[in-house]
Structure 1
Amino acid sequence: MRLAEIFERVVGPEAPIRFRAYDGSAAGDPNSDITLVIRTPVALNYLAQSPGALGLTRAYVSGHLDLEGDMYTALRRMSDFVFSEGIRLSPLQLAGIAKDIGWVKFVNRVSPPPQEMRGSRLLGRGTRHSKKRDAEVIQHHYDVSNAFYELVLGPSMAYTCAVYPTAEATLEQAQFHKHDLVARKLGLSEGMHLLDVGCGWGGMVLHAAREYGVKALGVTLSKEQAEWARKRIAEEGMGDLAEVRHMDYRDVPDGSYDRVSSIGLTEHIGKKNVPAYFASLYHKLKPGGRLLNHCITRPRNDLPPFKSNGVINRYVFPDGELEGPGFLQTVMNDTGFEIRHQENLREHYALTLRDWCANLDRNWDAAVAEVGQATARVWRLYMAGCVLGFENDVVQLHQILGVKPDGTDSGMPLRPAFEPPVA
Structure 2
Amino acid sequence: MEYFLSTLSNFQLVAPQLAICALALLAISLRNRSGYPLPYIAVFFAYFTLGPVLNWTMNADVYVGTVVDRIPTVTWWYAAALTTWAVMYLFWRWLLPARHLPTKLATAKNSGVERTYWGLDTLNILVSVWAAFKTFQILSTGATDKLLTIEAAGAFHYDYLLIQVALGSAAILTWKDRGFSPATWINLLTYSMYCLVTFERDFIFVIFALLIHITAAKSSRFRLWIPFVGIVGVIGATAIFVFRSEQEEFGISTILGQGSNLFIDTFILEGLTAGNFYPIESYWAALFRQPPTEYGNLTNWIVYAWAGGAEGAGYGFSIIGEAYMNGGLAAVIALSLAIGLISMSLFRAAERYPLALMLSVSFTSAMMYAVRGEVATLSTTMLVAVIIGVGAVLTSRKPTAAFLGDDASARSPMVSDSQGEAGLTTN
Is the shorter-chain TM-score for this pair beyond 0.5, marking a shared fold? no
Compare the two structures and name the one with the higher strand fraction.
1
Larger radius of gyration: 1
User: Which structure has more RCO (C-alpha within 8 Å, separation ≥ 6)?
Assistant: 2
TM-score band w.r.t. shorter chain: under 0.3
The TM-score, its normalising length taken from structure 2, stands at 0.23
Compare the two structures and name the one with the higher helix fraction.
2
The TM-score, its normalising length taken from structure 1, stands at 0.24
